[in-house]
């Protein structure tokens, strides 16, 4: 076991965990955050995506020890049901979900891309999205929601 500090959704946590534990397990089991999902566990599907220090990462293959001191955002950290973040609002407005299992990965991947590159082209958005699997095939509506959010944030 090893002591470490994580900042998750703006709140600081002191943890005493096995340093090789995947970040996803710490987020879901210790911090009870259900936004990031376990899909493949192999960095293939994107369901477990979180934003760490501005980058979208796959928490299922990220040992928590590599995140000591990191600033992490999960889907819960964006907005609330009463006051959704603008990207969540865009997904609601475009009805861009079916089962929702992939949503955390899709939304956080798109947000990290647009935070870094607010003028991302359609091709760049599609390339980023191609790394997150959606078994419900809602890609067209998701793309529309991300484009809507990108346009709105550009003002």
Task: Report the residue number, 6 or 46, with the smaller CB distance to ligand FES.
Answer: 46
Dihedral (Cα; 135, 55, 14, 24), 10-degree rounding? 20
How far does CA 128 lie from the centroid of its chain? Answer: 13
Nearer to ligand FES among residue 121 and residue 130 (C-beta): 130
Nearest distance in Å: CB 93, ligand FES: 16
Which position among 6, 26, 60, 120 is part of the footprint of ligand FES (CB under 6 A)? 60
Which of 8, 27, 50, 97 binds ligand FES (CB under 6 A)? It is 97
- Of residues 5, 37, 35, the one with CA closest to residue 19: 5
Scanning residues 103 to 142, which ones bind ligand FES (CB under 6 A)? 134-136, 138
* Nearer to ligand FES (CB atom), residue 78 or residue 103: 103
Strand order in the sheet with 71-73: 11-17, 2-8, 71-73, 49-52, 55-58
Task: Rule CB under 6 A: say whether 67 interacts with ligand FES.
Answer: no
Structure tokens at 118: 């607010």
């Amino acid at each position: 076991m090893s002591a470490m500090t994580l900042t998750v959704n703006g709140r600081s946590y002191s943890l005493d965990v096995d340093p090789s534990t995947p970040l996803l397990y710490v987020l879901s089991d210790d911090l009870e955050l259900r936004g990031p999902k376990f899909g493949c566990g192999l960095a293939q599907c994107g369901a477990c995506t979180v934003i760490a220090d501005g980058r979208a990462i796959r928490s299922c293959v990220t040992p928590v020890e590599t995140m000591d001191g990191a600033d992490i955002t999960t889907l819960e950290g964006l907005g609330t049901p009463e006051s959704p973040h603008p990207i969540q609002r865009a997904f609601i407005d475009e009805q861009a979900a079916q089962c929702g299992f992939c949503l955390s990965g899709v939304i956080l991947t798109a947000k990290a891309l647009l935070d870094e590159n607010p003028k991302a082209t359609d091709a760049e958005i599609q390339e980023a999205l191609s790394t997150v699997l959606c078994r419900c095939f809602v890609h067209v509506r998701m793309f529309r929601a991300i484009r809507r959010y990108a346009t709105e944030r550009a003002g």
